[in-house]
Chains A and B, each alone.
Chain A
Amino acid sequence: MRSACFKVVAMVACLLALAPILIASEPIPFSKVAPLLKQHCGKCHDSMIGKPKGDLKIDKLDADLVRGKDGDHWQEVLNRLNFGDMPPKDEPQLAKADRDLIAGWIVQEMRRAALTKNQATHFRRLTRREYERTMQDLLGLGIEFGKRLPEDGRSKEGFRNDGDALRMSPLQYEMYLQIADEALSEAIVSGPAPEVHRYRLEARKAPVVLPKPESRPGESYDYRGKGKTFSIGDDCQFGKTVLTQQPVGVLLPSAPQSFGEAALKRPDFRYGFRLHHPFRRGEMLVRVRASKFLGESGKESAAPPQLAVGIGCTNLHGIEIRAIAEPIIVNHLESRTYEFRARLENFPLPNPGPFRNENCSILYAWNPATQAAQDPNPPRLKIEWMELESPYLEQWPPASHAGILFPNIAGLAKEEYAREVIRRFATRAYRGPVDKAELDRLVSFWLKNRGESDAPEAGIREALSLVLTSSRFLALPAVRAENASKERLTNHELASRLSYFLWSTMPDDALLQLAEGGKLREPGVLSGQVRRMLKDPKAWQFIEQFTEQWLELDRLQRVNVNKGKYPGFNDALATAMRQETAYFFAHLLRQDLAILHFLDADFTLVNEALARHYGIPEVTGPEFRLVKLDASYKRGGLLTQASVLTGNSDGLDGHPIKRGMWLLKNLLDDPPPPPPPAVPELDRANDPKLKGLTIKQALALHRSNASCSGCHAKIDPWGIAFEEYDAIGNVRKPKSPQSIDWVAELPTGVSVNGMAELKKELLRTRGDDLRRAVLRKVAAYALGRSLTLTDMEAMDALVPELKKRKDGLMSLVELVVMSEAFQKK
């Protein structure tokens, strides 16, 4: 007993030291908990009695959950308390405050124990996205390399770049080997330029073969002259019936739509090719000559027509298709030529044959504009012709080839040249200098094996494929430097960490040059680079992935929105919801606006679809723009964004528990403990007990259960205010002016009525929680690991500095980058 006491004392001291960073409120000392355990559990579970029940000696449990071995036992104690079956019914019961005290202490200690298990790792494999983008930048090929890899796991915090979740398997390695070979055979070519298919289609005429342009390599291929392995036809439609028949080449609004099963419907109005014997790889150039068309009335439509182009394949019912780019607004009466380029590897392909109209490739243009309500004039798009060129060769050999096998102007001897090719490639791939021993090994592999290869390029491909499958390429950090510090990242490693943090790809030349010259850490340089990188379009990688993973926006995809109740909900609206959150984050980031805007703001960014959903007038077109919000919209900040509200609903109605949890977990980093095992989710669609109940009734039933009430009293009040919004985030009207539907008493005792008051209360009392939460989440993403205690302390210590810098989001990112944690190994 004496030694246990000593341990407890030591631990309390330790706890006190950590107190400010752990949780918002004061930590609970074990000295308050021990007597309660003795009093209420000791009768059956004490070492002093002969046969403790269940062999549990609660006084002997190690109160040190960090180093002790009794974590599982404490978990069990917590479960029993949560279930409410201990102490047994016929024994004196725990007062609620005492029960909360014990449970609170266990949760607090378990969380601390979990944190100390996190290690300061820094070696991790690239995510699927990072791998793809690095391969693209390194090779200069726009192929979606990552598509073939298995999906990455996610950490407890939801981040996909957490090294603990990024596993390696033999299968994954085989994929890397295959992809490297295929990528290099695209990047480095052998022999003369291949035959090129060039066709033009005018509506309702057979496609014609186009002559080869003077400036381009590759002979033209004439499908009519070479047997029947290739055939091509038009696939145009200008309406379903003769009555709606349009003048040739004119497309009314229509787009591929879901059949509801397994395929898409072809648009009723389309202009395109059908290709038997598909092009499976390489770049394709599509040119379309188009204009706006006014029709017989000669009147303009309210919104102009749009041009979309997609590549795909057919199946028995319909098609699979993917648009090449965002639709183009065509607001001119004279014809203009638009060009689209696509890597065919990235698009849906038919089965390998035999080909028939239900199993072939397609190339379609259509008009995805929508006809405004009450506008008698539909937006009409006229297409004069459409051309395809595949493969599209700007030069031969391609730029990717010349970039690797650079012109040997210096006249290097064969071996010297190969060595230089390998050195340059590996230096870029490894994101830093390659030491001599490393290079020697690669070159000697090339020397030994080049004789076995058929073409000289093959030997180089083989050597470079080693680089692309080396753990130094596939994982971070890759740089190995003689005499490097064990503590601090080298300049090149720092450049990499920064680049993968903000761009999800390898550092660019500017960063590498700064690293090379040893200047990256000079005063002002690093923060200047952060600002430069955040303004670069590549920063969208950080914006999109971080907001999605931090704010759990993927929930939006999993919610099954009830189409009967919400007929206006569709894929386009769901996409717009997700985009709003990313654009909102991007705006704060690039303008360095205060992160308190996450809690409330008088602006947001919307496009037409979302503006309609929010009831904001005068927004037309698919692009997002900044709009001012006044109080009447009842919007502002993340809490009222449709992405969050819809993702945290059950598809039929709002879900206060999910919404409350979302707020506590993501914006305040103050999550209640996870529910005890075997507690099902509140599932009104499938649980017979809950069928027919309103969400509030279901919640009440849930809370009446003793095992749930303890925690839910801490969650539900936060979610009540969200009830002002329905399942897809529409503002509800109160049932009566005196309605108290949205009134909740927060655990702090403060009562709030509706979202506006909740936001005010959060801004008043929880600002520092938000600052800590955002710092921690950004740091976890930046470091690619679950934060260690030290990391967390370091982040929390940045709060005063962040306040000094007016809470700006860009400043926050800078602070994280400048921190020891980011620059250390």
Chain B
Amino acid sequence: MPQPSWHLNRRTILRGGGMALALPWLEAMAPAAPASPKPKRFCAFFFGNGVSLTKPTDPTSDWNWFPRTDGADYKFTKSLETLSGHRGDLTIFGQLSHPSSRQLVGHNTGDVWLSGADIRQNLNNSISIDQFIARDYGQHTRIPSLVLSSNGGTGMKSRATTISFDQQGRAIPAESNPRSIFERLFEKPADGDRVARERALASGRKRVDFLLEDARSLRGQLGRPDQQRLDEFLSSLSEVESRLARAQTWLGKAMPNVDRSRINLEVSQKGPTEYIRTMMDLIVLAFETDTTRVATYQISSEDGHGICDRFPGILKIGTGKHGGHHGLSHSNPSKDSSWGEYDRYLAEQFAYFLNRLSAIREGETRVLDRTLALFGSGTSSTHHARNYPIILAGGKDFGFRHGRYIKAREERPLGDLFVTMLQRLDFPVRKFAENSGEFGEVVA
């Protein structure tokens, strides 16, 4: 039987898809400063279907995802209590959302959580923030970015099983098999793959060299102002050339030596806790070895699709028609705490990730202090695409001030936070994901 075309084999991943010459995913913005000796990193964790929201008068009032009061003195509710050990390392945000999605049914907004694209008229997505970052950071690592999800692949439009989208807004297939992720990250590629890639890169460089010479020979024929325009062609080509050169040097470098016994690869989605933690461990390992600096992981997708919808059932949270993650989101949290218990479970997994990152030191600092870790969803309660549950952790080393629940007075673009994050990751951008400004309150 021929292999289905959507199946990702190692070779396609290594090639990075066609003539792309395995260039990292694309965006035009160049970094303001040369790469610092100590890397900065970004990762994002997504879960679908929103969170349990209750009223203070409800018997289940403790199961409100958001703290009851904002500011520095907030109290964790039961939903987030498992994160209390990291209070000083994270900020909880309230009233953030992507403006053009606010009228949409919440389930539709998972695809654009990291991009903020306007999908009211059609489903054309745009680049997600992780790929925007990877376009630059990816040049300095063997692998530009890790794109993971519990369901794997891309899923269908409007319910994608990935949260990463390329420059043209196309879904990037997510990896879900820990063993093959590990092999791709840390084991030597087959000789045939390496040779093919070597050849593609070399031929790419030859072409770009030719084009540089070609453009230079045109230069003498142009007047001064026209030369300035041609120079933009030349500098663009030089940049493409140096990207190819950097990609080539990776081929010659030794793989990091990672002991397989450090990670439990004998897991599957049927044991959600071990599975989710192994996926997180893979990100930690990749960061620790500087194999990549950008990662996304869709822990669960929107709506009731795929294996991740069954996680709560396997964990014995929620039953009957309110079984499954999507079913939970249609339960009544003011009477039933099951949904909140699953929120708590997810927060606990994120706490596990933060534990791991803060345990690793990089000279004076913890890796967590040089990593921005985003955790959240694209809808607050079911079908309600406002007031996203959002937590941002880490990044102290580049100025993030944590320890508060910051609740905007009225609905504010999530893009504001994205822009501030990007700026602190050395991207001098002013606009991203429909922002109206920046989020100065969260940085020193």
Contact = CB atoms under 8 A, between A and B. Distances in A.
Interface in A170-202: 170-175, 177-178, 181-182
Given A177-B207, A350-B156, A471-B211, A261 B108 contact: yes
B236 A168 contact: yes
B429 interface: no
B156 A356 contact: yes
Given A173-B236, A177-B19, A182-B19, A825 B158 contact: no
B156 A351 contact: yes
Nearest to A228: B1
A790 to B, nearest CB: 14
A616 B360 CA distance: 76
B154 A229 contact: no
Interface residues of B, number: 64
Contacts of A227: 1-2
Interface in B270-312: 303
Contact of B157 (A177, A350, A452): A350
A121 B231 CA distance: 14
Nearest to B204: A177
B305 to A, nearest CB: 9
Contacts of A163: 229
Interface in A264-312: 277
B226 A471 contact: no
B122 to A, nearest CB: 6
Interface string A299-343: 000000000000001111100100000000000000000000000
B159 interface: yes
A462 B232 contact: no
Contacts of B303: 316
Contact of A262 (B30, B120, B236): B120
A169 B236 contact: yes
Nearest to A175: B26
A352 B156 contact: no
Interface in B419-433: none
B316 interface: no
Interface in A134-175: 148, 150, 163, 167-175
Contacts of A352: 5-6, 153-154, 171, 173
Contacts of A229: 1-2, 4-5
B383 to A, nearest CB: 11
A169 B27 CA distance: 9
Given A170-B28, A825-B223, A178 B211 contact: no
Interface string B201-237: 0011011101101110110011101100110110011
B214 A472 contact: yes
B180 interface: no
B191 to A, nearest CB: 18
A469 B158 contact: no
Interface string A462-488: 100110011110110000100000000
A465 B206 CA distance: 12
Interface in B138-159: 153-159
A175 B159 CA distance: 28
B258 interface: no
B120 A261 contact: yes
B428 to A, nearest CB: 15
A178 B225 contact: no
A77 B107 CA distance: 53
Contact of A462 (B154, B168, B207, B230): B207
B440 to A, nearest CB: 19
Nearest to A478: B218
B19 A262 contact: no
Interface in B109-129: 119-123
Interface in A451-508: 452, 462, 465-466, 469-472, 474-475, 480
Given A121-B226, A169-B236, A317 B211 contact: no
Contact of B226 (A123, A174, A348): A123
A317 B240 contact: no
A471 B158 contact: no
A172 B28 contact: yes
Contacts of B225: 119-121
B363 to A, nearest CB: 32
B157 A261 contact: no
B167 interface: yes
Contact of A150 (B28, B108, B173, B213): B28
B104 interface: yes
B159 A123 contact: no
B239 interface: yes
Nearest to A472: B218
A470 B103 contact: no
A258 B104 CA distance: 13
B19 A181 contact: yes
B28 A148 contact: no
Contacts of A260: 120
Contacts of B215: 470-471
A358 B233 contact: no
Contacts of B35: none
B19 A316 contact: no
A471 B240 CA distance: 15
B210 A316 contact: no
B20 interface: yes
Contacts of A261: 103-105, 108, 119-120
30 contacts: A121-B223, A122-B226, A125-B229, A125-B233, A171-B135, A173-B233, A173-B240, A174-B23, A175-B26, A177-B208, A228-B1, A229-B4, A261-B104, A262-B120, A314-B156, A315-B123, A315-B158, A315-B159, A350-B157, A351-B156, A352-B5, A353-B154, A356-B156, A441-B213, A441-B214, A466-B214, A469-B207, A470-B211, A475-B229, A475-B230
Given A262-B120, A316-B156, A350-B156, 16 more contacts: A120-B223, A122-B226, A123-B226, A150-B28, A170-B236, A170-B243, A261-B108, A263-B123, A314-B156, A316-B157, A350-B157, A353-B6, A353-B153, A471-B214, A471-B230, A475-B233
Please list the 3 inter-chain residue pairs (A to B) with the smallest Cβ-Cβ separation, ordered nearest first: A353-B6, A359-B156, A123-B226
